Structure 1
Amino acid sequence: MPREIGNLPYLARLAFATNNLVGVAPVTIFNMSALKEISLLNNSLSGSLPSRIDLSLPNVETLNLGINSFSGTIPSSITNASKLSDLELGVNLFSGFIPNTFVNMADNYLTSSTPELSFLSSLANCKKLKVLILTGNPLDGILPKSIGNLSLSLETILMANCSISGNIPQVVGNLGNLLVLELGGNNLTGPIPITFSQLQTLQALGLTRNKLAGPITDELCHLARLHSLVLQGNKFSGSIPSCLGDIPITIGGLKNLQQMFLEYNRLEGSIPESFGDLSSLEVLDLSKNKISGAIPASLQKLLYLKHLNLSFNKLEGEIPRGGPFANLTAKSFMGNELL
């Protein structure tokens, strides 16, 4: 990218995403006051951001530098860029503390200035915040109660693989318009909050590979729009809530569920016959639990089922032969001595 591009005083849109651009991005592009959009996504560019980006780019609405090699700190002045509504900085080499703004900052080396992730408290001032993506940053803290004060417009929280520990605060239930909550790959402990029943718009919940324990709460039965539930790699115990299969009577919205991962827990009891009503199910993994009883014949109705893993449980009886079972191998059932 030539430095001379900064000599275009009336340029309003600079979009070079997904090319093969290399080298340091000219500092001049961050001094073009008329620019409303800078999109350099998915190149091999490096460099740093100006310390007063709010003054050098007063009219910028979109700043997308994701999937490059930009480094240095993210300037705190970015909070003062009053017209900025779309900020994407994920998959770069940024380091330092997270500024108090709304941003996709996935896969950098960002940390929090306090163990309580204090930047989340400041985000409560972002009334139009819809997406919060921090996946893959070593935050190394706990989820504070202030997370419940985030904007009601918030629809997505992605904080997987962030070294977060402690319990999931009950106040997460205050985020009444949340569509996606992904907290997998952390060190979270304690139970699933009962307040999850208040997340009536939730479509995807990911809590995989944590240290969560206790039962899989019946409160999940109230999430009528849920279509992705991923809980494997925890320490859950007890029975699977009947509503996860008994869709017509309880929460019929789960008829759109496509994937269910519950392996590596301590689930007991039998597989509900009503699992056969999960008509959209493509993947069902119940392996490495303590599930007993027979495999329900109703599972033969799951015409879209492509992957079934019931291995290493205490199942018994005859394996069904119809429907998707005709294409399954012994690998799906190994480790059940009485089958």
Structure 2
Amino acid sequence: MTSWLLWLVVVFTMIAVGKGKQNVHQECHPNDLKGLASFKAGIHVDTSGRLAKWVGHGCCRWEGIACNEATGRVTEIRLPGFISTNDSVFQSQMRGLLSPSITLVSCLEIIDLGGLIGLAGRIPPSIGLRLPNLRKLYLYGNKLIGPVPDSIGKLSKLEELHLYENRLSGSLPSTLGNLRNLKQLLLYSNELAGMIPDSFTNLTNIVQIDLHSNILTGHIPERIGEMQVLEKLDLSKNLLTGKIPLSLANLNSISEMYLDSNHLEGEIPFPSSFGQLSSLSFLRLDDNHLTGRIPASFGNMISLQRVSLENNKFDGVIPSSLGNLSALTELYLSGNLLSGQIPESVGQLSQLIMFNVSHNQIQGPLPHELSSLQNLQTLDLSFNHLNLISFPKWLAQLPSLSRIYFAGCGIQGEIPDFLQATPSPIQELDLSSNHLTGSLPAWLGRLTQLYKIKLFKELTCFKDPCFRNAFSDGSLTYVDLSDNYFSTGIVQAGVGSQTGIQYLNLSHNFLEGRVATTIGRLKSLQTLDLSCNRLGFNLPEALANVSSLEKLRLQKNHFTGRIPSGFLKLTKLKELDLSDNLLAGEDSCG
């Protein structure tokens, strides 16, 4: 009998506990309900329709809400802008203000309201005081304004803080240095100002910090190099000044370092000894005021894959030690004062895909060792002192090369015929600002993957077939043939058949006659520049059919008559220049 009574007690106890759990899930905690209801009330547009389903008092069953099974308290609000379905991913919007009452949901561990586009207001000042369990806070990609609250520094459990792409202002609170569990800090693309707090050096567990696209000023703290486990450092697109701290060489675990687009000066201070920055794979120092030589020790950072040093004031020769970077795939050195010849060791970079050393003072000849770059896809040597005279034939035999930029390299003679039979089809070709002669070769029209071509300076064309043959096929989107001696009219069967062209520049030639009606077939055309020619008759009414047109330059020709009323249909037009013609009457475009 005793055992039977004991069994009944256990059964009734289990039933009571079960009902308790059921009630927890049926009834929302009053504070949680009030906080969520206030959040919903602040949103006046929800394109996802999720908030419309928030009815009743059982908030744990609402879409985007998760609760603790034992306590019934809300622990997660997940309402991201990007929503995945079985078929696709789409971005929803929520327009309205972020209610400060959201902090009433005091047991929250995760808030994900990122990428909602229209969410405005401020981050609640009390967020750090009322949400002690918060581990992840995603408010990125919205329209939030105001400062980053000081109280965020009290969120001792916070691991990820994503506030990027908002309109946050003010200075970075020094209390962020108290977040010892923080692994990701992403604050880029805001309007934050001031210096990076020295307290950031306390973030010894952080693995990613990203502050680019702000208006931060001041220096990079020397002690930032004490972040021994830091894996990603992004301070790009700010107003940082001073020298690059030598202590950055102590970041033994770092794989990505982005300091580009600031006002940094001085020399590259690392690596100062072998083994430093041995894990660094991606390095961007471009668009600063850095000076001096590229250090020979640069070749010791053997994990480097992508390096950009362009648009600085580096001088001297390219160090031959770069040939040690066997993993290097992209090297950008353009826009400096580099001199001497390209070192033969560059030919050892078997993984190199992109090599850009344009706009320097590099001299010829080119080392034949470059012919070993079997994976090279893009080569830009433009505007150096190469004085090549002729185009190096062995470069045209590289099996992967499809983008060739040799502008301003002193090349003479006609466009070489061997370019029509390269192992990899040419997609982009820039031979402008050279001393090319002759006419456009007919085989250009057979380069079916060519979509960008710049050939201005000194080419001739006196017959319409010259255009027709060169452009009767292919998939061109960018054509710049300005500053030549072309005298034929605008092609009827050539350029007019290239319906995918987006940019067409035939300015500063000797074109004459009418603009053919086939110009109206260029439905994708965004920029058309026919200025400084001898074109005449009426303005081409067919242009009214090019609805995508944004820039139209027809100045300094011999056009007559009135401006066609159809031009009013060009609603995307941002720039129109018809000056220095023989147009008559009132401007019908208003």
Q: TM-score range by the shorter chain?
A: 0.7 to 0.9
Whether the 8 Å CA contact 2:318–2:342 is kept in 1: the answer is: yes
CA distance in 2, matches of 1:80, 1:130: 24
Contact kept? 1:200, 1:222, Cα under 8 Å: no
Q: Is residue 8 of structure 2 the alignment partner of residue 8 of structure 1?
A: no
Are 1:72 and 2:218 matched, yes or no? yes
| Structure 2 contact 338–362 (Cα < 8 Å) conserved | yes
Among 470, 479, 482, which residue is 1:299 paired with?
470
Deviation (angstroms), 1:96: 3.4
Q: What SS does the aligned partner of 2:242 have?
A: strand
CA contact (8 A) 1:212 1:236 kept: no
| Counterparts in 2 of 1:4 and 1:207: CA distance versus 1, 3 Å | farther
CA 316–115 in structure 1, closer or farther in 2 if over 3 Å, else same: same
**2:400 equivalent to 1:225:** yes
For 2:479, the equivalent position in structure 1 comes to 308
Alpha carbons of structure 1 residues 133 and 69: separation in structure 2 relative to 1, 3 Å? farther
Alignment of 1:34-113 (within 5 A): 34-49=181-196, 56-75=202-221, 81-98=227-244, 103-113=257-267
Taking the aligned partners of 2:317 and 2:360, their CA distance within structure 1 comes to: 10
Q: CA, structure 1 residues 21+274, in 2 after alignment: closer, same or farther (shift >3 Å)?
A: same
Q: Deviations over 1:287-323 (max 9, x none)?
A: 1145789837642343422443444446799986424
- Report the counterpart of residue 275 of structure 1 in structure 2: 444
Q: Conserved in 1, the CA contact under 8 Å of 2:445 and 2:474?
A: no
1:189-228 CA-partner distances (Å, limit 9, x unpaired): 4344433323322233333344432143223223333333
More displaced 10-residue stretch of structure 1: 61-70 or 159-168: 159-168
Question: How far, CA to CA, are the matches of 2:315 and 2:462 in structure 1?
Answer: 42
1:18, distance to aligned residue in structure 2 (A): 0.8
**Mean CA deviation greater in 320-329 or 297-306:** 320-329
Q: Distance in 2 between matches of 1:82 and 1:216?
A: 49
Q: Secondary structure at the match of 2:509?
A: coil
Distance in 1 (CA, whole Å) between partners of 2:228 and 2:378 is 31
Asked if the contact 1:269–1:290 (Cα under 8 Å) also holds between the matched residues in 2, the reply is yes
Amino acid at match of 1:146: S
User: Is 1:166–1:189's contact at 8 Å kept on the other side of the alignment?
Assistant: yes
Quick one: distance in 1 between partners of 2:168 and 2:158?
20
Q: Structure 2: how far apart are the matches of 1:242 and 1:94?
A: 50
Of 145, 155, 161, which residue of structure 1 is paired with 2:329? 155
Change (3 A) 1:319 1:71: closer
Aligned mate of 2:371, from 194, 197, 203: 197
Which residue pairs with 1:116 in the alignment?
293
TM-score, length of structure 2 as denominator length: 0.48
8 A Cα contact 2:440 2:470, kept in partner: no
Q: Give aligned-pair identity as a percent.
A: 30
Once residues 31 and 194 of structure 1 are traced to their aligned partners in structure 2, the CA distance between those partners, rounded to angstroms, is 56
Q: Does 1:208 align with 2:385?
A: no
Structure with max Cα Rg = 2
Q: Report the residue type matching 1:280 in the other structure.
A: Q
5+ long unaligned stretches in structure 1: none
One-letter amino acid of the structure 1 residue matched with residue 202 of structure 2:
S
Deviations along 1:81-103, one digit per CA (max 9) or x if unpaired, are: 45434332222222334456652
Give, in whole Å, the separation in 2 of the partners of 1:331 and 1:139. Answer: 36
2:495 is the alignment partner of 1:324: yes
Give SS of 1:190's match.
coil
> Per-residue deviation at 1:241?
4.4
Of 178, 181, 188, the residue aligned with 2:362 is 188
Is the Cα contact below 8 Å between 2:480 and 2:505 reproduced in 1? no
Seen in structure 2, the aligned counterparts of structure 1 residues 213 and 69 have a Cα distance that, compared at 3 Å, is farther
- 1:140–1:304: structure 2 CA closer, same or farther, 3 Å change rule? same
Residues 245-264 of structure 1 mapped to structure 2, 5 A cutoff: 245-247=420-422, 251=423, 253-255=424-426, 257=427, 259-264=428-433
CA contact (8 A) 2:163 2:187 kept: yes
Please provide the CA RMSD for this pair.
3.6
Q: Which deviates further from its counterpart, 6-15 or 193-202? A: 193-202
Matched residue type, 2:184: E
Q: Which whole-Å deviations, capped at 9, do the CAs of 1:7-36 have from their partners, x for residues lacking one?
A: 222211111111101121123324533222
Contact kept? 1:109, 1:138, Cα under 8 Å: no
More moved, 97-106 vs 22-31: 97-106
In the alignment, which residue of structure 1 is the partner of 2:3?
A: none
Q: Give TM-score, length-normalised by structure 1.
A: 0.78
Distance in 1, Cα, partners of 2:441 & 2:367? 24
> Which residue number corresponds to residue 32 of structure 2?
none
- Partner-residue secondary structure (3-state), 2:369: helix
Alignment check: 8 A CA contact 2:176 2:199 kept: no
What one-letter code is carried by the residue in structure 1 that aligns with 2:341?
A: N
1:61–1:83 Cα contact (<8 Å) kept:
yes
Relative contact order higher in (CA < 8 Å, ≥ 6 apart) = 1
Q: 1:126 aligns with which of 296, 301, 304?
A: 301
Q: What residue identity is the alignment partner of 1:20?
A: R
- The range that moved more, 318-327 or 236-245, is 318-327
Structure 1 residues 224 and 48, CA gap change in structure 2 (3 angstroms):
farther
